[in-house]
Amino acid sequence: MPIYKINTNKLDPISEKKIDLEKDIQSLTEQNLETVFGFEFIRSEFQMNSLRIDTLAWNKESQSFIIIEYKKDRSFSVIDQGYAYLALMLNNKADFILEYNEKMKNNLKRDDVDWSQSRVIFVANSFTSYQQSAINFKDLPIELWEAKKYQNDLILYNQLKCPDSSESIKTISKNKTVNEVSNEVKNYTIDDHFKENWKESRELFDQLNEKILSRYSEVRQTPVKTFIGYKIGQKNLICIWGLKSGPWIEFTRSQPKDFNDPDKRVKYNENSMKHYNQHTSGFLVKNSDDVDYAMSLINQSYNRMTRD
């Protein structure tokens, strides 16, 4: 998609510039890993057995390792290579933990890591239609990101997403590595947060979810193991927990006094500073009337976040 610069009432096209070397985009990404992806940088060129990982990162939110690979040549299989890297990690967990502890001066233990949320990210200037269609599975722990450079030192990172699929890669793959990794690594979805007999709670969530995504175009929904996040950039605007009694909305960096809450229904999380090192508050959506009330609270949180 072309990018333009507004010049009075005229649109001037911004031309794309060639990225000459994989190293160029790797160096830029690693120096801005927190800004682009919200990850902590561990190290470059991590050699393990016959594979070399371009960038090893840590996702603090999900407590998991992230492998990032940069590609200039488009003739590679995202499935084969992605699962090869994940298998390497799962078969050498102690080495990854040791690398983290040495580089981050920490004392991470095996049980501190959520291996089920491990991910591989491929970064390239572009991907083939075949590579894009290859990731169209609901449980694929692989992401494709385009990195495009433009004149005036502009750069765009854009995640490529396929339409939602109900197909599992385990149902079509006979590859031993894919099946072994799939038994341990999971791509969490909304369905994982609501049990089948929680129909009323799920219906309330669906109402709320539709309103959030239609009102705030820049908000990305990111389900993880414990909650469903709604991010602006790399920060969660809110997090939603699926409960039998209804969706529980957690407002990050917020206290009840921060809201215009005439019914006084926003509750403070007493353990928030201990667990998250920030104030958090919550609101339970019990019925359809609560959805509109919740949206008024979410809008207040949104205004504070975008204003700050």
122-135 pLDDT tens trace = 999 889 988 988 88
pLDDT for res 166 = 66
pLDDT reading at 187 higher than 90: no
Give residue limits of the domains in the chain. Answer: 3-182, 190-307
Tell which wins on pLDDT, 166 or 192. 192
According to DSSP, residue 266 is labeled -
**Domain spanning 3-182: CATH 3.40.50.720:** no
- 21-53 pLDDT, tens per residue? 677 889 999 999 999 999 999 999 999 888 999
pLDDT for res 231 = 94
* CB neighbour burial string for 12-39, b if at least 16 within 10 angstroms, e if fewer: eeeeeeebeebeebbebbbeebeebbbb
pTM recorded for the entire structure: 0.85
pLDDT reading at 170 higher than 80: no
Whether 122 contacts 143, CB under 8 Å: yes
- 205-255 pLDDT, tens per residue? 999 999 999 999 999 999 999 999 999 988 999 999 999 999 999 999 999
pLDDT for res 24 = 84
pLDDT for res 2 = 76
| Class level of CATH domain 190-307 | alpha beta
Q: 1-4, long-range: CB within 8 Å, 24+ apart, which pairs?
A: 3/150, 3/154, 3/156
Tokens for 105, please give them: 């001066």
Q: Mean pLDDT for the chain? A: 91
Whether 96 contacts 65, CB under 8 Å: yes
From 42-46, 115-119, 185-189, the region with the lowest mean pLDDT: 185-189
Helix, strand or coil for residue 269?
Answer: coil
CA distances from 189 to 39, 79, 242 (A): 21, 20, 12
Q: Do domains 3-182 and 190-307 have the same CATH topology?
A: no
